[in-house]
Amino acid sequence: MSVHQRDPTFSTFTSEQAKHYANSRPSYPTELFQCVFDHHAANGGSFKKLLDVGCGPGKATRDMLPMFEEVIGIDAGPEMIKTARELGGTTKSGKEVQYEVSRAEEIDKIAGLQEETVDMITGATCAHWIDMSEFWPAAAKVLKPGGTVALWARAPMHCQNKEISSEFSHAFLVRSLAVDKTADPKHPRYAMITERMKEFEGDFKGAHVLRGNEIVHNQYRDLQLPWQIDTPVAAFPQGKYLRKEWDYDNHFGDRDDYLGGSKNITIKQIEGLLSTTSSMIRWREAHPDLVGTDEDHTIKMMKILREAAGMAPNEDGTLPVGAPTTLLLFQKA
């Protein structure tokens, strides 16, 4: 039985929202891309054609252009694709990247895309909005034998400083499941922040936090894999599946920081990033009269972050932030 819940937010973006998204979302770590490419090459994969699904305005797509001769990015949002086309880019062969409006579940219906001609299919923090029961059969049709499907996600965002990471996680995700288990609950502001954040949780649960949000917050542990859907897709054998995790629960292993390193970003940048999350967008759409006021949840959360970090009320200070990364790799038989 499908557990899919189609994205009700990003696919209906306006031009202004798509541009704001493109400007506010960070790039993925170089180390993540290298891991994907190394795995693909080690299994005999070639680098001729890439299909990037759920590409949005094309940030991850553009980062992969130097590796492939031909690149197609697809997204269900017309304005996302329009923004991606405006930003453009060329592949290693000098070819212009191609962007098309399409759902990931219908990649086998893209005009001009022949069966078994794609070397790699990627999806950057988007699979939680895809109906995987439809995606896997479509992917099997267009992917070459031996080709790779790489799906990854980076979430939730945390502050690297353990003393304020619990408060930061609460504020950024608006849900108690995101508490950083390494944080010290005796932090002088912990009780106040926790009490305040509980006031917000009710507004975001239900209508604003959807099944897709829960899947990505749980590091794709609940994402339907090819052998878990009602009609399993034998083209993707479980024996050729690899799951990799970095920094889950802030456990860095033999490193002392997140994959790609923490980034020092300002409160304003965090506010811009938060305003592109689907749950926050839905909250604002449900409360247009509160947007930009002191009751705006984004503004209230930034106040909490400043308090947790010991900043002045309007200070645009910086915080070292990072996110755990999950990568799922599949190879077509």
Q: What tokens were used for 120?
A: 């790699």
The answer, yes or no, to whether residue 212 has pLDDT greater than 50, is: yes
Helices (H), the chain: 15-24, 30-42, 59-64, 78-87, 132-142, 162-173, 190-204, 211-217, 267-274, 278-286, 297-309
The answer, yes or no, to whether residue 4 has pLDDT greater than 70, is: no
Calculate the alpha carbon distances from 131 to 104, 174, 217, 225 in Å.
8, 25, 17, 11
The answer, yes or no, to whether residue 41 has pLDDT greater than 80, is: yes
pLDDT for position 122: 98
Ramachandran assignment for 112, one of left (phi > 0), alpha (psi -120 to 50 degrees), beta (any other): left
The more confident residue out of 79 and 184 is 79
Residue-wise pLDDT for 300-317, tens only, equals: 888 877 877 778 999 998
Q: State the Cα–Cα distance between residues 130 and 139, nearest whole angstrom.
A: 12
Nearest Cα residue to 283 out of 206, 198, 215: 206
Residue-wise pLDDT for 247-259, tens only, equals: 776 566 667 778 8
CA angle 135, 39, 328 (to 5 degrees): 40
The more confident residue out of 44 and 307 is 44
Calculate the alpha carbon distances from 11 to 80, 81, 139, 240 in Å.
8, 10, 21, 32
The rounded percent of the chain whose pLDDT value lies above 90 is 56
The more confident residue out of 25 and 321 is 25
Sort strands 325-331 and 318-322 into parallel, antiparallel or unpaired: unpaired
- How many CB atoms neighbour CB 273 within 10 A? 19
Contact 78, 17 (CB under 8 A): no
Give the SS3 label for residue 129.
Answer: helix
Q: State the Cα–Cα distance between residues 139 and 147, nearest whole angstrom.
A: 10
Nearest Cα residue to 16 out of 275, 295, 213: 275
- How many CB atoms neighbour CB 331 within 10 A? 22
Angle between helices 190-204 and 278-286 (to 10 degrees): 70
Phi and psi at residue 180, in whole multiples of 5°?
-75, 115
Residue 161 — pLDDT band, cuts 50, 70, 90? low
Of 67-81, 105-119, 135-149, 247-261, least confident by mean pLDDT is 247-261
The more confident residue out of 259 and 91 is 91
The more confident residue out of 278 and 118 is 118
Sort strands 118-124 and 318-322 into parallel, antiparallel or unpaired: unpaired
Residue 224 — pLDDT band, cuts 50, 70, 90? very high
The answer, yes or no, to whether residue 229 has pLDDT greater than 50, is: yes
The answer, yes or no, to whether residue 138 has pLDDT greater than 50, is: yes
On the 0-12 / 13-18 / 19+ scale of CB atoms within 10 A, 294 is: exposed
